[in-house]
Amino acid sequence: MYRFLSTFAAIAALAALFGGCAVNPITGREQVMMVSDEEAARESSQAYSSLLGQAEQSNALDTNPQTVNRVRAITDRLIDQAVAMRPETRAWAWDVHVINSKEVNAWCMAGGKMAVYAGLLQKVQPSDDELAQVMGHEISHALLSHQAEKLSRAKMQSMGVGLGVLAGAAMGVDVRGVAGLANSLATGGLQLPNSRQNESEADQVGIELAAKAGYNPRAAVSLWEKMLKVGGDRPPEWLSTPPNPETRLQALSQLAERLMPVYQAARR
Ligand SMILES: [Zn+2]
């Protein structure tokens, strides 16, 4: 107990020393912020460039205009709503690419760098409304500074570990599974899972972004049902964290009903 208390005191002291906490403008929740959004975005931007470079070399970028335009059209509408919710993100260098990987995955790094994997599009066959829910959820992690928060926690837990080693964590994803893209990111591929609280925040804000952008909130429920059926050996991040899928589906369907008026207003 004393040891726990003294560890806690040491962490609190470190947090105070290095800039500590910030209240998130969207959720109002106090977050440990020893790594800023800007730092996390810088790390992410480098990791993203490196990932794209390798993907290009190994022919792992899907450049089919039909696919790319569809994904961009959806993310553009979500980005408009993200900027409305948190205006300083207008300055982010938002970007999205489709990666040829069989994995069912999608992510958005700190600073707005996104990817959708072909495996998600092919195996899940999401409608536009459903794809908007996936990307809305991922964008929300960045919008809510979850990557910076995870990096901050990791930094506090091991003050000796340099930021460079944590580069991969800025992405909040493990990209090592992408065929041929492994090496440059392997060193930074430290995967930090999102907490249950972060997942539920991203669910809430994601469905709201999508509804305001004119995407049916009920698609969140049908999407996760499809996701659960597809399954696979490595569940995407949004299915890998408790609460269990049934609890989450129930929460999503309540959120969806609450946001139907927002969606209907956006459609008019
Ligand atoms: Zn998530």
**How many Å lie between the centroid of ligand 1 and the Cα of residue 238?**
4
Return the residue matching tokens 């009903």: 257
- Tokens representing residue 186 in the block: 């392997």
- Determine the pLDDT at residue 19: 62
Q: What is the pLDDT of residue 153?
A: 78
Ligand 1 centroid from CA 2, angstroms: 35
CA of 179 to the centre of ligand 1 (A): 23
Q: What is the CA angle 89-109-39, rounded to 5?
A: 70
Token pair in block for residue 218: 């009920």
Q: Which two tokens stand for residue 68?
A: 């790319």
204 C-alpha to ligand 1 centroid (Å): 11
The Å distance, Cα 170 to ligand 1 centre, comes to 14
How far is CA 1 from each of CA 9, 10, 70, 177, rounded to the nearest angstrom? 12, 14, 55, 40
Contact 199, 207 (CB under 8 A): no
Would you kindly state where each structural domain of the chain is located, as residue ranges? 34-267
Cβ atoms within 10 Å of 163's Cβ, excluding its own:
16
- Model pLDDT, residue 241: 59
Q: Where are the alpha helices (DSSP H) in the chain?
A: 2-17, 37-57, 65-85, 118-124, 128-143, 146-157, 182-186, 196-212, 219-230, 245-267
Q: What is the pLDDT of residue 165?
A: 43
How far away, in angstroms, is 78 Cα from ligand 1 center?
16
State residue 73 phi and psi, 5-degree precision: -60, -40
Calculate how far, in angstroms, residue 86's C-alpha sits from the geometric centre of ligand 1: 19
- How far is the centre of ligand 1, averaged over its atoms, from the C-alpha of 109 (Å)? 11
User: What's the 136 CA to ligand 1 centre distance in angstroms?
Assistant: 10
In angstroms, the CA 213 to CA 234 distance is 30
Cα separation, 230 vs 236, in Å, equals: 11
DSSP string, 13-33: HHHHHTT-EEE-TTT--EEE-
For residue 208, the model assigns a pLDDT of: 98
CB 86 within 8 A of CB 145: no
236: cis peptide before it, omega within 30°? no
Amino acid at 260: M
Residue 231 region by backbone torsions, left for phi larger than 0, else alpha for psi between -120 and 50, else beta:
left
Cα(82) to centroid of ligand 1, in Å?
16
CA–centroid distance, 199 to ligand 1, in Å, is: 5
Nearest residue to 34 via CA among 152, 162, 160: 152
- 0.85 cut: is pTM over it? no
CA 265 to centroid of ligand 1, rounded, Å: 27
Dist. CA 64 → ligand 1 center (Å): 27
pLDDT tens for the chain, 268 residues: list them: 445 555 555 555 555 555 678 888 899 888 888 888 888 899 899 999 999 999 999 999 999 999 999 999 999 999 999 999 999 999 999 999 999 999 889 999 999 999 999 999 999 999 999 999 999 999 999 999 998 888 887 777 765 444 444 444 555 444 444 433 333 332 232 356 777 888 899 999 999 999 999 999 999 999 988 988 886 555 556 555 556 777 888 999 999 999 999 999 999 8
Ligand 1 centroid from CA 139, angstroms: 9
From 196, 147, 197, 137, select the one nearest 168 (Cα to Cα): 147
CA of 6 to the centre of ligand 1 (A): 32
Burial of 207 from C-beta contacts in 10 A (0-12 / 13-18 / 19+): buried
Q: How far is the CA of 197 from the centre of ligand 1 (A)?
A: 10
Ligand 1 centroid distance, CA of 9 (Å)? 30
